[in-house]
Every structure is written in structure tokens, then in C-alpha cells.
Structure 1
Amino acid sequence: MAVRPEHDRTVLARLLGRDPVLHAYQLGDLDDFFWPYTSWFRRGEQVALLYHGVDPPTLLAFAAPADTAALAALLADLAPTLPARLYAHLSPGLSDILAGSYRLDPGGLHHRMALTAPARLSVVRPEGVVLGTADLPGLRRLYAQAYPGNWFDPRMVDTGQYLGVREDGELVAVAGVHVWSPVYRVAALGNVTTHPRWRGRGLGAAVVAALCVRLRETVEHVTLNVKADNTAAVRLYERVGFTRVADYEEWTLTAR
């Protein structure tokens, strides 16, 4: 069974929707907002996504443990056609399939977390106002100070799913989304940070809780990715109701 491009969103939604938490990012990328930047590949029931909206592009390939071998077969077929340089988010064990074609530089183990206990959102007082395009300069200043090197797509502010906390007119905490799809009922938090001078005051938990309350009005599954060694962030997310549901590895791939 050979790997082939897949262009039917209905088919992709069916396959990815079997595990909407594991595949939340890919489901969100089926939306018109992201669809033009995507290339999809299928081998049987397994799917991989190459997202072109960033430079270099990013390969997403996730599988439950029982399906890892089948997804590995897809990646083995796909490897000769991939770009010479790309990022990859892969379920554990899949990077070995690409090691013959690429030099792999690790970006660390990450947790996929999901909001499984939303009642815990009430343990903090939600706080934050909706941000818009007029707030982009302030957002960029905050990210430069508190989260340099983060991946931020300014278009996502237009979704209305970025919330911020201000002190003396300046943004000091923010929570946003990498993915938000009412159509496919998934969201993924992203670009969450607090200014270093304001950390330790509960603002991160407050703005995350406010965003989650807002997202649950339009989606069923609220997810996020967090680096496994970022224990402070993991504890924050657990405090407001997230649990770890899967792990994956990030890599930078350069053709040999």
C-alpha cells in the first residue's frame, strides 16, 4: 500500500476525528484559515501533514502506540519527497524512520495536554480582555521580553481568541491559540506567557482560565503542547484542569 496525497477534507476529518485530542492541530488545519498552507498524505488509515505556513515547513505525524508501525511505514514512503529542511513533531519512535535521510537535531520531549477537568477552572479568578490587531505592537513587545523565539502568527489575533492582562497600559500576561476551529470543535492554546516582573502572581493561570472558559463556548476539545521539562507550566495547566494525554518529540531535520 503506497502513500498518496489526500485532498478530501471529509476523509481527513473522519480519520483524524477518531482521536481529536491527539490530532487537534491537524483537525484545526482543515479549516479554511489554514487549509491553503497544508499538504496531506495518507497510507491506509494513517495521515501525515506538512504545514507550509512557517519557514521551514513543519511535519506533523502522530499515532497511538498501536498504530506507530503503520505510521512509520507512511513516513518511510514519504521521506524521499520531503523538503531538504523542515521541523517535525513526531510521536515517540518515529524519528528513527527519518534518520537515514536527515540529520536530526532534537527540540525536546513535549506533552500533549487536554482540558479534562474543566471544573478546576474555578480555582482561579479568570482575568483578561480580548485583544485585537491594535494590540499587536504590545504583544510583540511582551513576547520579545518574556517569550523570545516563540512561534506567533499575527493572523490568529483576528480569531478573537487572544486574551491579555494589562498593568499601567502595558500587556503583562497573555494567552492565545495556535488552533481554533468551531467547525471541527478543537482548539489548541499557544503563545502563553507572563512578563518576568509579573510572574508568581497568578496572572498566567488567570488568563489561561479566562481563555478556556471562552473557548468552551465554541469547541469541545481544548488542548495544548508544553515542553516536558517546563515543570512550572505543566503545574499551571494541571492546576486549571489539564491532564497529560500523549507525548511527542520535536526535531529539526536537515537532509544529509
Structure 2
Amino acid sequence: MKTVCLHTKDEIEAFLRRHPFLHLYALGDLDDFFWHHTTWYALKEHQQIKQLVLFYTGTSVPVLLGITEESTKLMHELLYSIIHLLPKRLYAHLSGNLAGVLASDYQIQSHGLHHKMALTDSSRLDGIDTSGVVQLSASNVSELEKLYYESYPGNWFEPRMLETGYYYGIRQGAALLSVAGVHVYSQQYGVAALGNITTHPLFRGKGLGRIVCAKLCQTLLQTVDYIGLNVKADNKSAIACYTKLGFERIATYEEYSLELK
């Protein structure tokens, strides 16, 4: 087995397409909009990719994606081989007990188990009245940041994602009450990952999140084939909402913050 850094999109895509919902974020990051923020490490045997890791630097804290649908043995080997290449501080999405590989070098804080969910029954979006939903743009950055500050302070909102055109909200008068957007979108690769979904605390329980997510999904389905999201495993209300919209759980992983010792 040999660890290599990959630079060929087609080779990476072929590996990721084996399970597109599981690797939704990584597939989207092949798009030119994200590609220059990515570094790809692979474990190869006889020129074949056996395991793959994505290191993404397009966020305020770089993110390591080490998600596998197989045994974690090969991913363990790959992660161990690239520890010396990682920065002092990073965030990570890891399958199983893979965080243990990094424990000798990093202080690790878990952010809990998360589910990957995939939109597998889009018929459930039919009949949802989304007429009150509005599209958001770069001109709405200030009010979006205000809503996230008040209702979702631990968000991963990146203003440049508004350039995709896939951020939607619900208003009451001039006030923005609920929003749903994307972490990843690629028409070329046919994938989208929902993210930064929140409703102001004073207006929760009214179904606003379901409506705004429905509008977002309905619009995305005009250009992509795969829609998914990540949600914390103990967020029962969000999971119930997504299930009603036609999402189902396809995998569980854990999120971590890492700081070099």
C-alpha cells in the first residue's frame, strides 16, 4: 500500500461514485467552485484507490473528511500516514473510532454523533405550499449573519455560498425568520448538501423549517440528482422534519475539533 496525493478529478470521482450519498460533500468539492480549496490523499494498491481522504480549506477552520462505508482498517492506515501533513488546528468528520488514530498528536474534542441523511423519496415534497419563501442573495448577508448569531451561533455559514443562488428564507414583514441553504452545490457533478438551516427561536414549532427546506429541495432537484445533509444524531426535531420531507439515514459518523498537543 502506498499513500499518494491525487490531482485527477476523474480518478477521484470514480471512487466516490461507488456511494454518492455517503460521499456527497466530496463529490461536490470536485466542482471548480470548491476544487482549489481541496487536497486529496489516497491509499493505493496496484494503482487502484483503496481509501480516500479529503482535506478542505475553504472554511474558517479546515476540515478533514475521513468517511468510509467499509471497515475502518484501511482508513486508519491512510490517516496515520498523513498526520505529519495536517495543520495545528482542524475539524474532522470520521467514521467509527478513527479519531483514536490522531489522539497521540492532537487534543480531541468530540461534537457528537451525526447522521448522514439522503433524499430518497422526493414525492413527499409535493403539495407543500412554498409560496411564502423568498430567494436570498449577497445583499442579504447582514440579516443572515444576524439570524445565525441569534439562532445558530455554531454555524458554518460562508457568505460566498450565496453565489450558488441556493439560499432561501421566510419573512414576517422585514424580519427574516427561517433560512435554508447549501454547504455544497454542483450541477456538474449532480449533488447538493443542505446546510445552515435554522429558524429563529421565537418562531420554532410552526413548520417554517420544513417549508423553506422543501422549497430549497424542489429547486435543487431541477439541476441535481443527489441531495443530502448531515444532522446531529440527538437533534430529534430536525431529524423528524427531514424524514417528513423524504430523507432517510444512510450512515453515522462523529465530528471533532482537533488541536495539536
Aligned residue for 1:177? 182
Aligned residue for 1:119? 123
Structure 1 residues 7 and 225 mapped into 2: Cα distance closer, same or farther (>3 Å)? Answer: same
Give the deviation of 1:13 after TM superposition: 0.8
TM-score by length of 1: 0.96
For 1:139 and 1:20, how far apart are their aligned partners in 2?
A: 30
Aligned residue for 1:141? 146
For 2:154 and 2:97, how far apart are their aligned partners in 1?
A: 27
> Which whole-Å deviations, capped at 9, do the CAs of 1:5-62 have from their partners, x for residues lacking one?
1011111111111111111001111111111111110112211011111233110111
Give the deviation of 1:122 after TM superposition: 2.5
TM-score by length of 2: 0.94
Task: Name the SS of the counterpart of 1:53 in structure 2.
Answer: coil
Q: Say if 2:27 is the partner of 1:27.
A: yes
Stretch deviating more after TM superposition (216-225 or 85-94): 85-94
Q: Give the counterpart letter for 1:125 in structure 2.
A: D
Which ranges of 4 or more aligned residues in structure 1 deviate by more than 6 Å? none
Size of the aligned set, in residue pairs, is: 255
Aligned residue for 1:13? 13
Q: Say if 2:106 is the partner of 1:99.
A: no
For 1:204 and 1:56, how far apart are their aligned partners in 2?
A: 27
Give the deviation of 1:169 after TM superposition: 1.3
For 2:214 and 2:170, how far apart are their aligned partners in 1?
A: 12
For 1:156 and 1:206, how far apart are their aligned partners in 2?
A: 21
Task: Name the SS of the counterpart of 1:113 in structure 2.
Answer: strand
Unmatched 5+ stretches in structure 2: none
> Which whole-Å deviations, capped at 9, do the CAs of 1:218-250 have from their partners, x for residues lacking one?
111100000011111111101111100001111
Task: Name the SS of the counterpart of 1:209 in structure 2.
Answer: helix
Give the deviation of 1:82 after TM superposition: 1.2
Unmatched 5+ stretches in structure 1: none
> Which whole-Å deviations, capped at 9, do the CAs of 1:191-237 have from their partners, x for residues lacking one?
11111121111111000011000011111110000001111111110
Q: Say if 2:82 is the partner of 1:78.
A: yes
Aligned residue for 1:42? 42
Aligned residue for 1:198? 203
Task: Tell whether the 8 Å contact from 1:124 to 1:240 is kept in structure 2 after alignment.
Answer: no
What is the root-mean-square deviation in Å for CA atoms of aligned residues? 1.2
